[in-house]
Every structure is written in C-alpha cells, then in structure tokens.
Amino acid sequence: MRSSAALALFGLVASAAAQTTHTVVVGGAAGLVYTPPCLWPAVGDIVNFEFHQKNHTATQSSFDQPCAKLTDATGAQTGFASGFQPVAPDMTTGFPVVSFNVTDDKPKWFYCAQAGHCAAGMVFAINPPREGNTFDAFLANAKNSASAPYPSAPPATTPSATDGVVTVTQTTTVGTASATPTASPQATVHSVTVGDNGSLVYNPSSIKAQPGDIVSFQFKSKNHTITQSSFADPCRKLEFTSTTGQVGFDSGFMAVAANAEAFPTFNITVKDTTPVWAYCRQANHCGNGMVFAINAVDSGDKSFAAFQALAKQLNGTGSGSPSSAAPSATSSPSAGINGAGQLVAAGSWIGVVSAVAMMLL
C-alpha cells in the first residue's frame, strides 16, 4: 500500500514538473493582435498575458459571441477578465502580466474589450478545435459582429472604474521590483509588501492615496490575500456585508515558496478618497491584525488603529461566519478572481510531495 501511495505521489511530482508557462503578448508593436493568436496548452499549464503598449484586456467570451463577455443567466460576468491594462508608449520592461490557469482541455475564447478592437480581429483562443469551431471561424465571427456593450477605456489612461471605491486591474507581475505598474503622469504608485520576512503585516498598513493612484501589493511569503471588507466587518468579504451590491476586490490566495526569487503582485486603482478597508483571508490572520486601509482618518473611531482593534476583538470572525481559509503556502492556492493571480512554482509542489513520499517509503 505504501508503494502504491508513493507511486501516486511521484506521478504528481512528474505532473508538476511538466507544467509549462506560455507567454502571450497583447498588443504592442504587432498591433491589435494577441501573439500567438491561439495555443494548445496542457491541463495544469499557465498562460501569461503580457500587456504591451496601449490599453487592452484579455476577456473571456464564447465562440458564438466573440465580442461579448461570458455571463450567466442573470448577466453576471462568469469568465476570466484581466481588466484594462494601460501601458505607456515608452515602456520597454516590466510589462503587466495576468495569468490564466488551464484547468481542463475545453476550448476557451477571449477578446479585447477596448472599443473596436474585437471587431478588428483582436481575439485569442486556448485549445480551439482543429475542425469545425476553429480559431479561424472564431476570428471570422468576431470581425462580423458588433462589439458588445463592455465599458471601454481610453487608450492612454488608467482603466475605467465600475461603481465602488476602486477598480481591480488584476495585474499579476512576476519578477523583480522593476516590474512596476505604469500610472498616468499625475498618479503615484504606492508599493505595499505583504507578509515580508514571514510577518502577518501589510507594510505600510495604512496609506493616503489620490484618485488615479495605483496601490501595488507584492506578496513576499507564505499564502496571503488582500481582500476588500468594511469597517464594521473587518474580516469578511465586502460582497457578504454590502447593502448596495458592492463586490469589492480580492487578490485570491498568493502562495509564495520560502526560497522564491519572484513575487506575485496585485494592483488596484483608487477611484476616490473614500476610505477603503481590506484584510487577509488566511485563517486567523485578520484576527491577528493583518488588515490594511486606504485614506483612513488619522485618529478617532474610524481610524486605522480602530479598524485593526476591531479585527482583533472579533478574532477574525466578523459579525457572522468566518471567511474561508486557504492551505499554507506549501499547498495550492485557492482560486483567485476569474482565474487571475494564481501563481505556484512547480518546485514548491516537488518539495512537499517528495517529503511526503519519503515518509511513506
């Protein structure tokens, strides 16, 4: 029995080691195209959308409606969406990257939601059939269709915001600190480290930001999130407590290996000066004070200190049931938003599985 378990585990090691990361360049010098326009990755592979000049998206659609975001019966978006990714004309390095995890071998269809781009043929496919509903047929459908009513963004500005305090750009950049998001000339990029040196801290934990500023969260260790909440319920997702239908941003769990040299980054763009409250969804982290604020007042009953004290007082539970937690950083992270922001090095899997296998032998 031990031998069978060990063989199964070693099979998992081989699968993790075989994981491939595919890079798709979005826009840039090639024009209104994804390069390459389609891929046939294996289950478990990662597709990195690397955004070059101008302001594009990678938004999941369907074969029959190439230029319309994928939605459910109520009209709610259900597919992957990168959000608008503005890139300055003079930018040459540190391009924003959004990751898509391939979880099955079914065809996946994508388009750019910028006005007119899809109808101009800016579409992409993962595992399109070789016959029938081919990529060429999908491309023809896109060129023959009118662009769907998706809020477009101007070519040279930061992404347009939906109702609420911030717009999630869902930008995940992997690399050194040079991979910094590009803001408009008047905007400021605020860098926040998450869990540096194994701590349960956002550093800085409270900032002041102006509309249009970008807050860039770099995850440095363990397995954390940055998830929007409310002052009254520090440790619960905003979508569970909002009376106005706000969903709020959520990075998803970002697992970082102890020996990592590249760190995932999650960016949000500030819409106005209304206070923003956030926390880490990992078990007990919020109750230990791992919370964050934008534009909180400096003192009084709605200050950052009061918010953190309330999180500790409620011990991470909020006023209702506790938020779901994720495994530790040595495990696979929970799903992020629309599949973005899930970055796990195959090496971290190998270390864990090998250790378990040794105990079974």
Give domain limits for the chain. 20-143, 166-329
**Radius of gyration, alpha carbons of the chain:** 21
Q: DSSP class of residue 337? A: G
| Average pLDDT rounded to a whole number, residues 298-323 | 79
Could you give the CA distance from residue 170 to residue 173 in angstroms, rounded to a whole number? Answer: 10
- pLDDT confidence of 7, banded at 50, 70, 90? low
- The architecture in CATH of the region 20-143 reads Sandwich (2.60)
Q: Does domain 166-329 have CATH number 3.30.1490.20?
A: no
The pLDDT of residue 290 is above 90 = yes
Mean pLDDT of 159-165: 32
Each residue of 117-138: pLDDT tens digit? Answer: 999 999 999 999 999 999 999 9
Asked if 20-143 and 166-329 have one fold, the answer is yes
Mean pLDDT of 239-244: 88
Q: What is the mean pLDDT of residues 19-41?
A: 94
Q: In angstroms, how far apart are the furthest CA atoms of the chain?
A: 65
Share of the chain above pLDDT 70, in %: 71
Q: Please give the C-alpha separations between residue 284 and each of 249, 314, 325, 326, 330, in angstroms, as whole numbers.
A: 20, 11, 9, 11, 17
Q: In sequence order, which residues have a C-beta less than 8 Å from that of residue 40 and are 6 or more positions away?
A: 126, 127
CA dist 59 and 70 (Å) reads 8
pLDDT value, residue 177: 38
> Does residue 334 have a pLDDT over 50?
no
Question: Is the per-residue pLDDT at 113 higher than 80?
Answer: yes
Q: What is the pLDDT of residue 76?
A: 75
Q: Choose from 117-126, 174-183, 233-242 the range with maximum mean pLDDT.
A: 117-126
Per-residue pLDDT, averaged over 206-213, amounts to 92
Averaged pLDDT of the chain: 76
Work out the average pLDDT over 350-357. 34
| pLDDT > 90 in the chain, percent | 41
On the question of pLDDT at 253 being above 90, the answer is no
Range with the poorest average pLDDT among 151-160, 274-283, 303-312:
151-160
